[in-house]
Every structure is written in C-alpha cells, then in structure tokens.
Structure 1
Amino acid sequence: MNWSVSFEPLLSWPWLIAAFVLMAVLAVVGLFFRTRGALIRAVAFVAIAGALLNPVLLDEEREALKSVVAVVVDRSQSQEIGPRTAQTDQTLAQVREKFARFPQFDLRVVETGKGDAADERTETRLFGALDGALRDVPESRVGGALMITDGQVHDVPANPSIGAPIHALITGEENERDRRIHFEEAPRFGIVGKPLDMSYRVVAAGGEQGTVDVRVSVNGDQVAVQSAPIGQRMPLQITVPNAGRNIVELSIPGGEGELTDMNNRAIALVDGIRENLRVLLVSGEPHAGERTWRNLLKSDASVDLVHFTILRPPEKQDGTPINELSLIAFPTRELFVEKINDFDLIIFDRYQHRDVLPILYYDYIAQYVENGGALLVAAGPEYAGEQSIAQTPLIGALPALPTGEVLDEPFFPRLTTLGQRHPVTRGLEGANTEPPRWGRWFRSIGIDRPEGETVMKGPNDRPLLVLDRKGEGRVGMLLSDQGWLWARGFEGGGPDVQLYRRIAHWLMKEPELEEERLTADGRGMVLEINRQTMADQAQPAQVITPSGKVLTVPLAADGPGMFRGSAQVPEIGLYQIGNGDLRTLAHVGPINAPEFGDVVSTADIVRPAVEKSGGIVERVSAGVPDIMPLRGNASAGGERMGFRTTGDSVLKSVDRVPLFGGFLGLGVLLLALGSMWYREGR
C-alpha cells in the first residue's frame, strides 16, 4: 500500500487564485480590525478553499521491477580449444543456478561469436554484444554484467558505458603454451615471374626460445623451408608464379604441450600482375584485314606490339638504289634468333615463305613453341599455295596441313559442339541463334586431319579455328582472312574484338581461359566453387576444412562447360578444394583475423575495464564467486560479484477517496458557514 494525497481542482487555476486572494484579503481585514466572527470566517474560507481544491486520497498498488543483468557468453572459435567449451557450459549453468536464488534480478543471456557473417567471427566483440543486450533497458534498471570468456576480447573500451559493475569469468588455464606465426609485411600485388619481398615473425607464449622450421608454400606447393628464431623478424622472398590471385602460406610445426595448431599458419593473398605482354605481328603482305590485328593489339594497354609488314620481298627488283629506299630492313636475326624468347606471342598474318626468313629460322620458331612460346597463324590463300609456311621446318609446330583448297563461298562462322564449351569461344555474342547473329565470311582454307581442338567451323563443317598444344607451348590457326568484315560492320558485324582477344590471351596462357580450371572463393561464410571443363559432367568437389574435416559439395551446370557449387561453412581459414586431378585453395573470412592470432587464455586484457566498473576477474577453475545484491553505489568488496538492485516499480492499480466529497465535505462546509452566520448574527 502506498498512500498519497492529490488535488483535483474544481475550477481552473486562474479562477482559483482569484478566489483565494479575495478570501485571504477578507480574512486578513477581519482579523486586523478584530471584527466579530473574523476567526470563524477565516476557518470557513479555508474550508471553501479546500473544497475548491478537491483533495483526493490515493491508495497506489505498485509492483517492484527487477534489475536486468546481462550474461555475455563468448562462443568464438578460440573458445573451442581444449576444455573451454565444457568450462563455459558448466559455468553458465552455475551462474543460472546462483541467480535463481535472487528474484530481484532478471537474467539476459547473450551468446556471441557464432553468427553466420564472417565479420562476426573475425573478432571477439563482447562489449558490443553487451551494449546491444541492454539497449532497451533504462540506466536505473541495469544491475550489471557478467562475461564468460577466455579473455581474448578485441573491443575492450577505456571506460565501460553501462554504469554498473562488470565481472569476467575466464576459461582456460594459466601459463598455457602456444606458438603462432604472422606476416609482418605482405604486399598486396606482385609482378609475375619477379621476386617479391615479404617478412614474418614467429611468436611463442609460455617462455619458449630457440628456432623453428617455417614451411613456405605458394598456391599449395612448397617452395622453401626456413629456420626462424622465435620472436625475430625474418625476411622472405618469393616469386609470384601466376597472374591473378596467389596464396602464400607459412606454417610451423606444433610444439610440445602447445595449446593449439590453429594459428600455426599465416596466409597472404598476392595478386599477380603481368608485365606488358610482348607480341610480334608479321604481316606477309598488305591486305584489307591487316589493321584488324594491329588495332586490336594496340588498343590493349597490357600489350607491347612489334609489327612488320613485308612490302618488298627479296625477289622484287625495280632498280631503286638502296640508299634511296625509305623502308626499314626486316631485322630477322635480332627478332628470330637473339630476342625470340622475349616475345609472348608471334602472329603470322597471311605470311608466306619468300626467303625473307632463312629456312633455319623456322626451326627456331618451332623450338620456341616447344619450349613454351605461342604462335598464331591467321591464314589466307597463301597458306594453300606452294610458298606456304607448312612447307618449312615450322611444320612440326602446326596443328594441320593445307589440302590446297581455297573455298570462296559465303558462310556463317559457327561454333562446334566443342567450341560451345571452350573458354575461347563460349558465350560469344550472337552465337546462340541459328543462323548466328553476325555477318558472313566469304573465304576459308582447307586443311587435313587437324590436331588439337576445333572450336569453330566454316562451310560444310570444315575447320575454321583450331587450337592446339605443342610441347609446353600453344598454337592457334584461323583458317580465313575475312575476320575484318566483322570489324567493318558488314551485315551487322560480329564479335571480332572478343574473339581475337580471347585467342591471343589463350595462347599466352591466361588462367581464366584454361579449358580445365578449378577456382574457389569465400564470400562471407559461403564457399563458392567454380569448375570449368570440356566434359559433359563434373563430379562433386571434395573440400578439406581448416580443422581437417572433409566436405562434399555437388556441382551443378551453369551453362556449357561451367559448373558451380556453394556451401555454408562453419570455420574461418584456408580450405583445400579438389575435383578430379585439379586442386585449389580458398580462404574463407578475413585473412589472419585477430580471433586466430593470440589464443592463450588471459585475464590481463579485460581487467582494467572490469575493475574500473567495480567488478572482479576470476578464473572458472576456482569456481563461480557468490552473488551479492547492492543498493546505490555500494561495492560488494572481497571476491563476491555485486549487482545493483533498482528502486523502480510499475503502477498496477489506484484507489481514490475524495476528502471533500459526499456528506463529509458538505457537512464541513455547512458547519463552517453556519458557525460564521451564527457568530456574526449576534
């Protein structure tokens, strides 16, 4: 029961004030001049004023509110080490049991570190979770907070914001031993084929000294083993092997009594960038499509082009003195002997053997291809003639020999069944209709028994574009000189830029254009797998998680030659993906996240903030401390966990009793007025 008096005036306050002033003046005047009945008149005026104020006696029924206590439970990946998960569960059960004896507390349990988003697993953010748990609670009702964690918290504030005691119970054991390795310097980009300088450090908790062996791997292949003193910064130099993403991994062996090997690896992602590709374009004679290849290659900022056109073959003699010629002599020896290996691609555009190149040089070109070079033959009628380069030692590098036929008839270039899946021709704009949505060509060159892969066909299903591998190199053959019609927009044109660029980059071994390719990437906590293949089907991918578990991810068709699959994964770290003979690596989540750095149990990180709030830090191995309710700013003291109680309450019901209502009020007024009349009437 809570009794109180409230006033509910019968008139508005301006009228009440005017009436009170008038009655006060009359009462004071009467008392001052000692008129008869002045005292009784004053009492009557007081009674009238009380009636006008209408006092009401209130009987309120209130329910006391509980203080809200937040229990923040650390469920991050470092809490899965050793017995920490069991310790956490046991401690939480004991905390619930202790709070059950105190009905004045409302317990809110919040678990953090196990969200689906990768960012939620990157760091242990207990204080952020605490603020979220108490966001809807008035400050007067906040009783305090309790954190169950291994102590590796990454958002500890200098000044806790809840204004109540915060306590921490630390899982794990004291004096744990652990090794870890991390990159000190890891550039984001590197030049393919060039050395890249990096650095790293091995750190050990528990006082370990000495040296450890560090295994260095690039894209899953071991490239070096170094001996590194513990605690010392070590230089590292690697060679970037591929364009695009490269994964550099450092790993160290586990030590005796080590807490976990989860942080015995460090990852760095390096994007490989090619230096400008060098292309040699040799046009055998001026023709309508000569500038098509030149314009395409000159427009590519990543290509350095050297272009020669044979305008004056040796047999051409017109009597012009040599000293009056303005033509540049073809530097055959410099290009095809001394610097041939400097080129990433050689293109013969309608080239024929006219003794411009010594016959031995064709053998050099064939060896260049066998050793890893790239050759493209854009053939015209000369390829079918007597001076064809197929009649030279270059024959060993060519994927097909000419039959001598030159077919001059209109046709639509079409993709073969193989070409619909090949990365060079897959998805060419306009290829998915019959006839294709591009212009016709009018000439093709006949060949016999082509090797490699025929990805485009001409009239009567004859080969039009052949791609082949020779030794470590690659060869392409385009059996028509009519591609310039697409560039000129004839009959609507065609995807000449797309096709020619893909051919050139496939020959130069661009990873994205490989026929058989397996890639994977992490997006949030989802592992996405892409399989590029010339086969009709793709088997499920086998995935090895950072902890060594094996997952199977099915791959579904996503267009010709493309298969994709994805899986929600539970761990942040490096995943190994295999499909058939192909292997790749993918990292899910942030690289070298703080959560997987230092995992040794410690009370030192949270202690300053906890003690500033008036709380205590204890290890769970010593048991859960007792709970003590506090009032105001009192402190629990000792080794007990103090939590504040609130004085807030909620109103449930109110009983009203008007003091001047009914016969009581009427009687008082009549008595006062009657007494005043009687006294003044005598």
Structure 2
Amino acid sequence: MNWSVAFEPLLSWPLLTAILIPVALLALAGLWFRQRGSLLRLAALVALAAALFNPVFLNEEREPLKSVVAVIVDRSQSQDIGDRTEETNQALAGLQERLARFRQFDVRVIEAGKASAADDRTETRLFGALEGAFRDVPPSRIAGAVMITDGQVHDVPAKTARSAPLHALITGNADEIDRRIRFENAPRFGIVGKPMDMTYRVIANGGESGMVDVRVSVNGQQISVERAQIGQEMPLQVTIPTAGRNIVELAIDPVPGEITSANNRAIALLDGIRENLRVLLVSGEPHAGERTWRNLLKSDASVDLVHFTILRPPEKQDGTPINELSLIAFPTRELFVEKINDFDLIIFDRYQHRDVLPILYYDYIAEYVEKGGALLIAAGPEYAGDASIARTPLMSALPALPTGDVVEEGFYPRLTETGKRHPVTRGLEGSDFEPPHWSRWFRMIGVEQPEGEVVMKGPDDRPLLLLNRKGEGRVGMFLSDQGWLWARGFEGGGPHVALYRRIAHWLMKEPELEEERLTADGRGMVLDVRRQTMSDNPGPAQVITPSGKALSVPLTQAEPGLFLGSVETSEIGLYQIGNGDLSALAHIGPVNAPEFSDTVSTESILRPAAEATGGSVRRLVGAGGLSLPSIVPMRGTADAAGRDWIGLRTTNDSVLKSVSRLPTFGGFFGLAILLLALGSMWYREGR
C-alpha cells in the first residue's frame, strides 16, 4: 500500500484566499494583543481552513513493472566456425535458465545476422538489433543487454550511453590463428586483352611473417602463381580475357590449426570492355541492298567500319583518262597482307573475283580464318557464277560450295530446328508463327554439302543461313541478297537489325551468343543458373558452395536452347557451378564483405562500448570449459560486473491499479470537528 495526502478544495483558490487571509489577520492580531479566546479563535480558523482545503488520504495499489533485458545472439556466418555455434547455443540456454529465476526481468532474445537479404549479411550488426529490441522501452526500464558473439561486430557506436550495462560473452578461443588475403586496389573495368594493374595483401595474425604462394585464377582458370610477402601490399597484373563479367580470384593455402579457410580466397569482379571492333566490308558492284550492312554496322558504336565498294574493276575500260578519275584505289596489299589481322570481321557483300584481289590474297584470307579470324559471305547471284569466290583458294574456308542454281521465287525465310535453339536466331520476332510474321524474299543461291549449322532455310528446306567454325575462326554464309526487303519495310519488313547484328557478333565470338554456355549470377540470396545448349536436356547443374557443400540444381527449359534453374542459398561467397564440360563462377552478396575479412574471435572491439556502460567483456570458454557468469539484480549506476558475475539494473516504475480515497473532513465526523471548534470559541467568549 502507498499512502499519500492530496487536497481537493471546496472553493476556488482566489475565493479561499479572499476569505481566509482577512480572518487569519484578525486571529493573529488577537494573539498579538493577547485578547481573551484568541487561541480558540485561531484553532477554529485552522479547522475552517482545513475543511475548505478538504485534505484527502489516498491509498494507491500499484503493480511493479519488469526491467527489460535484451539477449542479442550473433548468428552471422563467422559464428559457424569451429564450435562457436554449439558454444552460443549452450550460453543462450544457460542465460535463459538463470534469468528465468528473477521475476523482475522481462527477457527478449534477438537473433542477428540471419537476414534473407545478402546485403544485410555482409556485416555483423548487433547494435542495430539491440536498438530494435529497446525501441518501445523507456530508458528507466532498460535493465541491460547481453551479447553472445565472437566479437567481430561492425556497427559499434563511437559513443555509448551509460543508462544500462552492456555485457559481451565471447565465443571461440583466445589463441586462434588465421591467415587471409584481400585486394587492396582492384579496378572495376578494364580493356579486353590489355593488362590491368591491381594490388593485394596477405595478412596473418600471431606475428607470422615470410613468403607465401598466391594462386591467381581468372574465370576459374589458374593463370599464375605469385610470391607474396606477408603483410606487404603486392602488385599484380592481370589480362582480362573476355567482355562482360570476369572474376579474378586469389587463393592461398591454409596453415595447420587455422580456424577457417573461407577467407583464404579473395575475388574481384571486373567488367571487360572491348575496344571498338574493326570490320572490313567489301561490296561488289552496287545493288539495291548494298547499304543495309553499312548502315547497320555504322550505327553500332562498338564497331569501327572500313567499307570499300568495287566501282571500277581493272578490266573496265571506257576511255576515261586516269587523271580525271576521282575513285580511290583499293588498297589490297595494305588491307589483306599488312593489316588483315587487325580486323575482327571481314564481310564480302555480293563480291566476285574480278582480279581486284590477287589470287594469292585469298590464301591469306583463308589463313586468317584458320588462325581465329571471322568471315561472312553475303551471297548474291555472283556466288553461283563463273567468277564466284568459291572458285578461288578461299574455297577451303567456305562452309558450302554453289551448285550454280539461283532460285527466284517468293518464299518466307524460316528457322530450322537447329535455328530455333541457336542464340543467333532463337526468339527472332515473328518466328513463332506460320507463316512467319515478316516479309517474303525472292532470291536465294543453291549450295551443296553444307558444313556447320543450318539455322535458316528457304524453299524446299534449302540452306539459307550457315554458321560454321573453321580452325580457330568462324565463317558465316547468307545465301540471299534480299535482306534489304526487311530493312525497307516491304510487306511489313522483318527483324533484320537483330538478325544481322547477332550474326556479326557471333562471328566475332561474343560470349552471350555461344551455343554452349553456362553462366550464373546472384540475386539477393538466390543463385540463378543459365544454360545455353543445342541439346535436348543438359541435366542438372552441380553447385559447390563457399563452404564446400555440394548441391544439385535442376534446369528447366525456358525456351528452345535455353535452360534455367535457381536455388536459395544461405552462404555469402564464391560458388562454383558445373554442367557437363562447362563450369562457371558466381558470387552471392557483396565482394570481400567485412564478415569474412577477419574471423578471429576478439574481445577488443566490444570492450570500449561495454566498459563505458559499466558492463564487461569475457570469454565463454576457459581452461575448465564453458563458464557462464552469475546474474545479479542491482540498483543505481555503479559498475555492474565482477569476476564471476554480471549485473542488470532493476526499475522503480510501476502501473497504478486502483486508488482508495479517505476525506479527512468528510461526513458527520468532519462536521462535528468544525462545530466543536467554533462552539468552543463561542463558549470562551461567553464567559
């Protein structure tokens, strides 16, 4: 019970003042002049004032509130090292058992570090979880917090309020050793085929020094082994092999007794950028579709185009004086001998052999293809004639030889079964209908014994578009010169831009257009696998997680030639994906996250924050095994920790349940006292 006195005046304060002050002055004057009965009059005045002020005795029934204790449990990935998870579970169970003995504590257990988003798992943010646990609790009711962690916390505030003690129980051992590697400087972009400078550092705790071997891999292929001085920043030069995403990986061997090898690898994600592709376009005599290839290639910002049209072959004699001709001589030797290897693609657009190129130069072009070059033949009627380039030494590089037939009839270009799966023609707009939703063509060249892949066909299933690999290079053959009808919008036109661009980029070995390709990427904590293939069923993808666990991811067909799969992951780091003879790498979460930069358990990070609140930091595991401190409820702001105990503050806050009122001058009792006081005054005056 809580007794108190409250006043509930019967009149307003101004009116009380107006009544009582004059009467009090008269009573005091009587006392001053020692008049008879002045003490009784003063007593009567006091009784009257007490009655008007109406004092009331209050009896409050209150229920004490509990102090809130936050137990923050670190469930980050570094807690999976060694026996830390088991130590954490045992410590949590022991704390809950000891705190349950004290009815004045409200215990809130918060597990941090198990967020579903990858970005939220890259750091151990225990103080953010602590703030969330106390968000609805007034400061006066906060008893304190206990953190169960390995000490690697990344959101420790610069200043900590002393309102409640913070205690940290550290998992792991004091003598842990670890060696790790990290990139110090890694650009995000680089030119394909050009060396790029990077730096890295190998770090070891416990005073280890000396040299260590560092394995350098690019996109899963080891390219070198470097020697690095532990603790020093070391230079590294890497050549980016392909356009798009490239993964550079550094790896070092673990040492005996090392707590984890998860940070013995470091990666950098580099976007490879191609220098402008150089294309040589050689057109025969002018024709209706001559500018189609030119306009397309000129509109591509990544292409440097060199275009020549043979307007005046050597045998043409019309009597025009040479000094009056303004034509540019075709620099055959410069293009096809001296600088042929500078070109990524050579296109012959309705070109025929008319002694413009010496016969030997066709051998150079065939050799260029064998050594990795790209050649495209956009054939017209000339390819079927006597001056066909198929009658030159170039024939060894061509995927098909002409029969001499020229088919001239209206037809719809159609995709073959192979073409429906091939990345060059797969999903072309309008190809899913019969007839296709694009315009007809009216001429194509007949060929025999085609090599490579026929991805488009004409009437009577004759080959229309051939794609072939020759040695290390590639050759494409378009057996019609009617593609310009699509560009001009005849009968609604067709997807000439997409088709022509894909052909050119496939010939120049664009990775995205490879028939057999395996790629993977991270989407939050989901691993997405993409498989391009010409087969009917590539089978499941095999995945190895950063910790070495093996997973099997089924792949389902999204469209012909394209299979997709995905899997929920729980680990941040580098994943290895394999399917058949192909392999790929993918990284889940931010690269080289702080969670893995240092995994040795430590007391030093949390100690300043804990000591600023009067709390403590101590290891759970000692010489005698797991040891939990005792819990001591306490009041005040003194230090809340001892050798084998931790203190938690209790609150004085309570909730009012009910109030009992007892008026002092209420009822007949109060009236009797007042009348007695007044009557005694009159009695005295009457004597």
TM-score range, shorter chain: over 0.9
Deviation, structure 1 residue 256: 2.1
Written as runs of structure 1 = structure 2, the 5 A alignment for 1:645-656 is 645-656=650-661
Say if 2:162 and 2:614, in contact at 8 Å, map to a contact too. no
> Secondary structure of the residue that 2:551 maps to in structure 1?
strand
Match of 1:169 in 2: 169
Supply the distance in 1 between the matched residues of 2:469 and 2:386 (Cα, whole angstroms). Answer: 26
The reply to whether residue 434 of structure 1 matches residue 439 of structure 2 is no
More displaced 10-residue stretch of structure 1: 636-645 or 232-241 = 636-645
Written as runs of structure 1 = structure 2, the 5 A alignment for 1:463-482 is 463-482=463-482
Match of 2:19 in 1: 22
Supply the distance in 1 between the matched residues of 2:319 and 2:447 (Cα, whole angstroms). Answer: 39
Say if 1:344 and 1:508, in contact at 8 Å, map to a contact too. yes
Offset from partner CA, 1:54-93 (integer Å, 9 cap, x none): 4332211112222212121222222221122222222222
Deviation, structure 1 residue 522: 0.9
> Secondary structure of the residue that 1:557 maps to in structure 2?
strand
Say if 2:94 and 2:628, in contact at 8 Å, map to a contact too. yes
Match of 1:558 in 2: 558
TM-score, structure 1 normalization: 0.95
Deviation, structure 1 residue 52: 4.4
Offset from partner CA, 1:507-533 (integer Å, 9 cap, x none): 101011111111101111111111112
Say if 1:400 and 1:449, in contact at 8 Å, map to a contact too. yes
Say if 1:486 and 1:493, in contact at 8 Å, map to a contact too. yes
The reply to whether residue 454 of structure 1 matches residue 451 of structure 2 is no
Match of 1:633 in 2: 637
Deviation, structure 1 residue 480: 1.5
Q: Give the AA of the match of 1:593.
A: A
Written as runs of structure 1 = structure 2, the 5 A alignment for 1:242-257 is 242-257=242-257
Say if 2:370 and 2:470, in contact at 8 Å, map to a contact too. yes
Q: Give the AA of the match of 1:210.
A: G
Deviation, structure 1 residue 46: 4.7
Written as runs of structure 1 = structure 2, the 5 A alignment for 1:242-391 is 242-391=242-391
Match of 2:71 in 1: 71
Supply the distance in 2 between the matched residues of 1:677 and 1:533 (Cα, whole angstroms). Answer: 119
More displaced 10-residue stretch of structure 1: 17-26 or 339-348 = 17-26
Say if 2:67 and 2:105, in contact at 8 Å, map to a contact too. yes
Deviation, structure 1 residue 415: 1.9
Match of 2:186 in 1: 186
Match of 2:152 in 1: 152
Offset from partner CA, 1:494-552 (integer Å, 9 cap, x none): 21111111110011010111111111011111111111122233311110111111101
Shift in CA distance, 50/446, structure 1 to aligned 2, threshold 3 Å: farther
Supply the distance in 2 between the matched residues of 1:388 and 1:162 (Cα, whole angstroms). Answer: 91
Say if 1:142 and 1:162, in contact at 8 Å, map to a contact too. no
TM-score, structure 2 normalization: 0.94
Supply the distance in 1 between the matched residues of 2:27 and 2:226 (Cα, whole angstroms). Answer: 111
- Structure 2 residue runs of 5 or longer lacking an equivalent are none
> Secondary structure of the residue that 1:333 maps to in structure 2?
helix
Say if 1:20 and 1:49, in contact at 8 Å, map to a contact too. no
Match of 2:223 in 1: 223
Offset from partner CA, 1:618-668 (integer Å, 9 cap, x none): 111232233332212122454232222211111122222233333323434
Q: Give the AA of the match of 2:651.
A: T
Shift in CA distance, 429/512, structure 1 to aligned 2, threshold 3 Å: same
Match of 1:662 in 2: 667
Deviation, structure 1 residue 36: 8.5
> Secondary structure of the residue that 2:531 maps to in structure 1?
strand
More displaced 10-residue stretch of structure 1: 39-48 or 336-345 = 39-48
Q: Give the AA of the match of 1:202.
A: V
Match of 1:407 in 2: 407
Shift in CA distance, 440/126, structure 1 to aligned 2, threshold 3 Å: same
Deviation, structure 1 residue 239: 1.2
> Secondary structure of the residue that 2:87 maps to in structure 1?
helix
Say if 1:27 and 1:38, in contact at 8 Å, map to a contact too. no
> Secondary structure of the residue that 2:628 maps to in structure 1?
coil
Say if 1:515 and 1:533, in contact at 8 Å, map to a contact too. yes
Supply the distance in 1 between the matched residues of 2:363 and 2:448 (Cα, whole angstroms). Answer: 22
The reply to whether residue 419 of structure 1 matches residue 428 of structure 2 is no
Deviation, structure 1 residue 315: 1.1
Shift in CA distance, 326/43, structure 1 to aligned 2, threshold 3 Å: same
Q: Give the AA of the match of 1:366.
A: A
Match of 1:135 in 2: 135
More displaced 10-residue stretch of structure 1: 42-51 or 577-586 = 42-51
Match of 2:605 in 1: 605
Supply the distance in 2 between the matched residues of 1:443 and 1:171 (Cα, whole angstroms). Answer: 78
Supply the distance in 1 between the matched residues of 2:531 and 2:90 (Cα, whole angstroms). Answer: 46
Say if 1:31 and 1:39, in contact at 8 Å, map to a contact too. no
Shift in CA distance, 230/249, structure 1 to aligned 2, threshold 3 Å: same
Say if 1:27 and 1:41, in contact at 8 Å, map to a contact too. no
Match of 2:628 in 1: 624
Deviation, structure 1 residue 471: 1.4
Supply the distance in 2 between the matched residues of 1:245 and 1:83 (Cα, whole angstroms). Answer: 37
Say if 1:72 and 1:111, in contact at 8 Å, map to a contact too. yes
Q: Give the AA of the match of 1:456.
A: M
More displaced 10-residue stretch of structure 1: 43-52 or 207-216 = 43-52
Supply the distance in 1 between the matched residues of 2:651 and 2:502 (Cα, whole angstroms). Answer: 73
Match of 2:2 in 1: 2
Deviation, structure 1 residue 107: 2.1
Shift in CA distance, 47/557, structure 1 to aligned 2, threshold 3 Å: farther
Deviation, structure 1 residue 198: 1.2
Supply the distance in 2 between the matched residues of 1:444 and 1:513 (Cα, whole angstroms). Answer: 26
Say if 2:616 and 2:641, in contact at 8 Å, map to a contact too. no
> Secondary structure of the residue that 2:90 maps to in structure 1?
helix
Q: Give the AA of the match of 1:634.
A: A
Match of 1:508 in 2: 508
Q: Give the AA of the match of 1:177.
A: I
Say if 1:72 and 1:112, in contact at 8 Å, map to a contact too. yes
Written as runs of structure 1 = structure 2, the 5 A alignment for 1:392-403 is 392-403=392-403
Q: Give the AA of the match of 2:304.
A: D
Deviation, structure 1 residue 440: 2.3
Offset from partner CA, 1:171-202 (integer Å, 9 cap, x none): 21122221111111111111111111111111
Q: Give the AA of the match of 1:644.
A: R
Supply the distance in 1 between the matched residues of 2:39 and 2:133 (Cα, whole angstroms). Answer: 65
Deviation, structure 1 residue 557: 1.8
Supply the distance in 1 between the matched residues of 2:632 and 2:676 (Cα, whole angstroms). Answer: 59
**How many residue pairs align between the two structures?**
679
Q: Give the AA of the match of 1:17.
A: P
More displaced 10-residue stretch of structure 1: 157-166 or 70-79 = 157-166
Say if 2:165 and 2:640, in contact at 8 Å, map to a contact too. no
Q: Give the AA of the match of 1:635.
A: D
Supply the distance in 1 between the matched residues of 2:327 and 2:686 (Cα, whole angstroms). Answer: 145
Say if 1:163 and 1:613, in contact at 8 Å, map to a contact too. yes
Say if 1:443 and 1:480, in contact at 8 Å, map to a contact too. yes
> Secondary structure of the residue that 2:418 maps to in structure 1?
coil
Supply the distance in 2 between the matched residues of 1:394 and 1:517 (Cα, whole angstroms). Answer: 30
> Secondary structure of the residue that 1:480 maps to in structure 2?
coil
Deviation, structure 1 residue 39: 6.2
The reply to whether residue 96 of structure 1 matches residue 96 of structure 2 is yes
Offset from partner CA, 1:245-281 (integer Å, 9 cap, x none): 1111111111122222111111111111111100000
Shift in CA distance, 534/8, structure 1 to aligned 2, threshold 3 Å: farther
Match of 1:568 in 2: 568
The reply to whether residue 594 of structure 1 matches residue 591 of structure 2 is no
Supply the distance in 1 between the matched residues of 2:463 and 2:49 (Cα, whole angstroms). Answer: 114
More displaced 10-residue stretch of structure 1: 620-629 or 598-607 = 620-629
Supply the distance in 2 between the matched residues of 1:674 and 1:404 (Cα, whole angstroms). Answer: 145
Q: Give the AA of the match of 1:184.
A: E
Deviation, structure 1 residue 2: 0.4
